[in-house]
Amino acid sequence: MELESNCIAPASAPPCQTPHVPPQWADALHEIAGGSPSPPIVVICGPKNSGKSTFSRLLLNILLQRYDRVGYLDTDVGQPEFFVPGCLSLHLIDECLPDVMSTSIREPERCFFFGDISSKRDPEAYMDCMFRLHDYFIKEYHQLNDHDNNKKSSIPLIINTAGWVKGTGLDVLIELLRYVSPTHVVQIRISVETKNLPTGAFWLNDKKRELSKLIEVDAVFTDSYNQSVLMGKNASRLRESRLLDYFKQCFSSSLNIKTNKELAYALASLPPYQVHFSEVKVMHLHCQVPKHEVIYSLNATIVGLAFNSFGPTTIECRPWCAGLGIVRGIDVKKDLLYVLTPISLSKLEKVDILLQGFIQIPTVLLQVRGCRSPYMAANVLHKLPYKKLKISPPKRS
Amino acid sequence: MESIYSQGNISSSLIDNAVPWVNWSEWNYLRRSIFSSSPKLISSALHKISCWVSRDCQLNLVELTAIIIEIHQKDPFFRGDTPFGDAVIPEKMLNMLYCMFIMRLVNDFVEPEHKTTGRSISDIAEALGIPRTFVDIRHESSHRSLPSLKLVRPASAKALEWLKANYWEPQRIASCDPRKVIKSRLRQMILCLKARQVSLLSSVKNKTKHPRRASLLMPCRKLSQLASKSDGSKAHISKLIRIAVHLYSVHPSDFVSVLLEFFLAQASVNSDHIDLEGSDDSECSLLKPISGSLIGLKMVITKLSLKTPRLLLSMLKAVIEMIEEKDSRNFENGGNDFLYSLNQAEVNQVCHLRWLVLYLIRNLKALKESGQIELFQENQICTTHKMATAKVCLTGLLHKCLSLFDPGDKYMLKSALLLAEMNENKLLTEKLKKLPMLAFLDQNQIHCDDIKYNENMLLKEEDAVEKAAERLDLIKFRLGKHKNSEPSNSVSGAATNLWRPTKSWGLCPIGMLLCSFSSAAFSPIFYVMEDEKEADKSEPSGENVEDVHSADTREMVCDDVEFLGDENAAKKLKQMPETEGSAELGRPFLMEGRLLIGGLWKKVSQEELISLESDVRIFV
């Protein structure tokens, strides 16, 4: 069964490019989209590079034929769908994705800055972010009271997960599934059986009544497989280009910034926002930095710009994040921080917390010609002086 | 083309990496601290490393060093004393820590290679030069029973030596001090330019018949000999200029400070012979100060600023800051011993620096006329397509010049006049022309009447003391106000505008700041935080003034002066500050409760303020 015909949305929308969708996937998609009368909550899981994202995008497009809006909760902090690395974000999508193979940056409805590209440094905080985004969605868009019903209708939710499915990664996934209790769980399985998730409803420990519909599909091994292998190799470059795309939003598209070098140059000369250092709180998410070193650790790094709307914030209980910023300079004498960010001034107004994690600033931004950042140096020894090893073919045991 | 850094046998790649340190002197300072014997320096170095690690620049080797040194700090065996209180760690735990450290050390370097090639750990370790002992300890502790403390303790010391030999030393050598390179290149350039000058002069000499100049040209013979050696050809000079421009673009602050160092050294040597004013008439100046390399230095500045106009702005900023710092220090000294303490050499230096400001502004004017430097108004938003051109804010610069203006100082006044002219502000020019009348009147009186001079001085001093008292009051006021308003601030402050778009900005590397009056970028100095660290450690508030002083001599002198004798480190500790008047002092937080003492911003407690204030009253 071909899916293209289904995807031809209203004439005004751009034509959707859909790759060849295998029948197994098409069946699964239709089962979710057309199965239940109430809007589904779908969790998509599976190992790395198995096609979770592709599946979720296809599902998104299909659901958009029936619903005006679809919620998308992205929990993959390494390779996020619509936002920047290091963030968990909730999006409300109201238009069909023109290209299912790649996505562009979208402003999230709500997001948290986790501050790392994997949940392994702090699974507790990571799960807390997931649960709170989910709760927010349920409260605002899914579980509607009677008097609200007139204004808006309940909308479906897609939850995309990270590809870490072993050890702690599996534990985190199980916690998520138990907490969310979705209507559908889509598990994508690859041919290497040992790398897959356990079969069946692995998240239920006893023989409880199973509420979720479990759908298991095989990964697609066509061109999208090749692409996903490629993606795996260039994960860090993809992250970097994501960040660059994000900061490109500082400029209107009329400026026509094409290359990364042009972007770096434009960012170096863009008038930043300024804020009094004493008016913002700085939090280090994944390491401890002595108080007197905070300024040193902030200068020329990427930070999450967060605001506090509920009581005291701790590292375990993250504040909402408005977006990312680059601390481009600190003037100690004037007590000023200079921050580059694409978020609007009205949103920025609320920001009073800077979160520093391990999201590294793309080095291309520090290497503007004739205008090199002091945080770049030549002659750096990163590795040991390898005596040339004769690389013999790996011995297979 | 020969490498820019070809000093000795180290040839370096120009591939840049992101690093958490601002320059190599910061790295070097850390290296000295962490391998020093002072627990205080070591712990500050460990703090610094934890900050570096938070920036995540793949610092395995630095991080590992920090870990082992931290463990050693906890081990009575290495501390050489009996641990007190909470510092006691049971031997079993120490054993675990050492084993874990060695496992990490080996795995960090061996694992990647092992994964890709599948060769055995010991083979790779051998190829990497990791001692076999470490590999064995790794193996034992991961697969068998934990090796004994007797074994791992010496191994950890060996590991530290190994890290020194495989990272810290090679890196120290590889990261050759840019200042050295800059110095040697600048010297070459000065020599070349002078040599060329000589050949030009000899042609002039043939034409003129002035007897005095002939004697001045005597040393030229030597120079022309040198010139033939160092090849003063045009091509050679332009190559040198290219290299210098590159060096400036990579190490702007080092470059400027070396230039200034050169200038001060030359100026002090030549100050007896050279009338600095000779530059008034540029044709004449060509012939005058040949004896020193000041002329060469001047030519270097002119030539380079034609290529990178930004250099001029960076220099202006540096010179003005230096004058401000020296002035403030003189003021401090003056406070102790009013009339006689002003060191003559220091005064001369300031005078030379003031002359340099004038010289730079002259150049600036020339560059502005040729369109290489643009003017901008304060608070003007720059258009994006003209970001790259160097810009200067005349009013800002003028403001600076006037604030440095000292009665009897002709250079600053001339600078201000030049700026006013550039600004095409006739009214201002007129006003400025009137300004010196008063000052020169004063000067005349000085010569004829010593008593009057003294009176004058006393009046001035009284004035200064009053001003200082005002500032103290202001600080006190802010200190009190901040304390009181803190809780309310955080509640109501959220509604007010925390964030504002910066009004004027220009091209500036990320991590640097823009100068207040031009588009020159500079590396920020977080010296206040350096100070904070000290305050954090010492007992809170209750200490008196003497304590502040002694604390800071401790910090300044450090435990091993010879170690820190290197000028960079000394510079780093000295940290040039800048007085910008009470408006700056009024800012909350960082500058709050600080006084400029001996050229450093010191944290001053309420009690100290009161005691200081009472001292002030005695004078008034």
CA torsion through residues B91, B92, B96, B97, sign = negative
Q: Which residues of A touch B512 (CB under 8 A)?
A: 329, 373-374
Give the pLDDT confidence of B330-363 residue by residue, as tens digits: 666 555 544 444 566 677 777 778 878 888 888 8
Q: Which residues of B touch A293 (CB under 8 A)?
A: 47-48, 50-51, 529
Q: What's the angle, vertex CA B83, arms to CA B79 and CA B87, rounded to 5?
A: 105
A380 neighbors A363 (Cβ within 8 angstroms): no
Residues A386, B229: Cα–Cα separation, whole Å: 42
Query: What's residue B99's pLDDT?
Result: 92
Helix (H) or strand (E) holding B196: helix B178-207
Record the pTM. Answer: 0.74
3-state secondary structure (DSSP) of residue A62 = helix
Interface with B, mutate which of A371, A388, A397 (most B CBs under 10 A):
A371
Give the pLDDT confidence of B185-239 residue by residue, as tens digits: 888 887 877 777 777 776 665 555 554 544 444 555 555 555 455 555 777 778 8
Q: Which two tokens stand for residue B545?
A: 């003034």
Residue B480 burial by Cβ neighbours in a 10 Å radius (0-12, 13-18, 19+): exposed
Task: Look at A321-335, B63-77, B257-271, B289-303 and tell me which has the smallest mean pLDDT.
Answer: B289-303
Q: Which two tokens stand for residue A138?
A: 């349920």
Give the pLDDT confidence of B531-546 residue by residue, as tens digits: 444 444 433 333 333 3
Interchain proximity B17–A377, CB inside 8 Å: yes
Give the pLDDT confidence of B47-91 residue by residue, as tens digits: 889 888 888 767 788 888 999 998 888 887 887 665 555 566 788
What value does the mean pLDDT take over residues B472-477?
A: 71
What value does the mean pLDDT take over residues A17-31?
A: 76
Q: Which residues of A touch B523 (CB under 8 A)?
A: 374
Query: What's residue B273's pLDDT?
Result: 45
pLDDT-based confidence at residue A18 (cuts at 50, 70, 90): low
Q: Is the pLDDT of residue A109 over 80?
A: yes
pLDDT-based confidence at residue A183 (cuts at 50, 70, 90): confident
Query: What's residue A271's pLDDT?
Result: 86
Q: Which of A12-16, B11-15, B351-355, B556-560 has the highest mean pLDDT?
A: B351-355
Nearest-CA distance from B341 to chain A in Å? 30
Query: What's residue B470's pLDDT?
Result: 72
Give, in order, the Cα–Cα distances in Å from B379 to each of A283, B78, B505: 32, 58, 9
Pick the more confident residue, A246 or B365. A246
Pick the more confident residue, A85 or A397. A85
Pick the more confident residue, B85 or B326. B326
Q: Is the pLDDT of residue A13 over 80?
A: no
Residues B81, A259: Cα–Cα separation, whole Å: 60
Q: How many residues are listed for chain A in this entry?
A: 397
Closest chain B residue to A296 measured between Cα atoms? B51
Instruction: Give the position of tokens 């007992």.
Output: B539
Query: What's residue B582's pLDDT?
Result: 36
Best CA proximity match to B619, nearest among B466, B509, B406, B426: B466
Q: Which residues of A touch B53 (CB under 8 A)?
A: 287
Pick the more confident residue, B365 or A223. B365
Pick the more confident residue, A71 or B560. A71
Query: What's residue B456's pLDDT?
Result: 63
Task: Look at A124-128, B523-527, B575-579 and tell me which has the smallest mean pLDDT.
Answer: B575-579
Q: Is the pLDDT of residue A111 over 60?
A: yes
pLDDT-based confidence at residue A339 (cuts at 50, 70, 90): very high
3-state secondary structure (DSSP) of residue A310 = coil
Provide the percentage of residues in chain A whose pLDDT is more than 90.
13
Interchain proximity A274–B48, CB inside 8 Å: no
Q: How many CA atoms lie within 13 A of B64 on its CB side?
A: 29
Give the pLDDT confidence of A363-373 residue by residue, as tens digits: 888 888 777 88
Closest chain A residue to B501 measured between Cα atoms? A273
Q: Which residues of B touch A260 (CB under 8 A)?
A: none
Pick the more confident residue, B481 or B171. B171
Query: What's residue A296's pLDDT?
Result: 86
Pick the more confident residue, A254 or B274. A254
Give the pLDDT confidence of B147-199 residue by residue, as tens digits: 888 888 899 999 999 888 888 888 888 877 778 888 888 888 878 777 777 77
Nearest-CA distance from A357 to chain B in Å? 8
Query: What's residue B617's pLDDT?
Result: 53
What value does the mean pLDDT take over residues B241-268?
A: 81
Best CA proximity match to A76, nearest among A96, A102, A47, A98: A47
Mean pLDDT of the residues in chain A: 80
CATH node for A23-218: 3.40.50.300
Query: What's residue A332's pLDDT?
Result: 83
Query: What's residue B336's pLDDT?
Result: 52
Structure ipTM over 0.85, yes or no: no
What value does the mean pLDDT take over residues A32-52?
A: 84
Query: What's residue B334's pLDDT?
Result: 53
Q: Where are the beta strands (DSSP E) in B301-433?
A: 373-375, 390-392
pLDDT-based confidence at residue B379 (cuts at 50, 70, 90): low
Instruction: Give the position of tokens 């735990």.
Output: B93
The answer to whether residue A252 neighbours chain B at the CB level (below 8 Å) is: no
pLDDT-based confidence at residue A305 (cuts at 50, 70, 90): very high
Query: What's residue B384's pLDDT?
Result: 46
3-state secondary structure (DSSP) of residue B579 = coil
Pick the more confident residue, B202 or B145. B145
CATH of the domain spanning A260-383, picked from 2.40.30.330, 3.40.190.80, 3.50.50.60, 1.10.150.120: 2.40.30.330
Pick the more confident residue, A4 or A356. A356
CA torsion through residues A365, A369, A373, A375, sign = positive
Q: Where in chain A is the domain with CATH 2.40.30.330?
A: 260-383
Query: What's residue B39's pLDDT?
Result: 82
Interchain proximity A329–B118, CB inside 8 Å: no
Q: Where in chain A is the domain with CATH 3.40.50.300?
A: 23-218
Characterize A348-380 residue by residue with b for buried, 16 or more Cβ atoms within 10 angstroms of its Cβ, and e for exposed.
bbbbbbbbbbbbbbbbbbbbbeebbbbbbbbbb
Residues B367, B362: Cα–Cα separation, whole Å: 9
Q: Which two tokens stand for residue A225?
A: 């497989």
Best CA proximity match to A27, nearest among A52, A2, A64, A63: A2
Query: What's residue B171's pLDDT?
Result: 83
Query: What's residue A393's pLDDT?
Result: 45
Pick the more confident residue, B591 or A341. A341
Query: What's residue A236's pLDDT?
Result: 83
What value does the mean pLDDT take over residues B261-288?
A: 55
Q: Is the pLDDT of residue A10 over 50?
A: no
B129 neighbors B135 (Cβ within 8 angstroms): no
Query: What's residue B487's pLDDT?
Result: 42
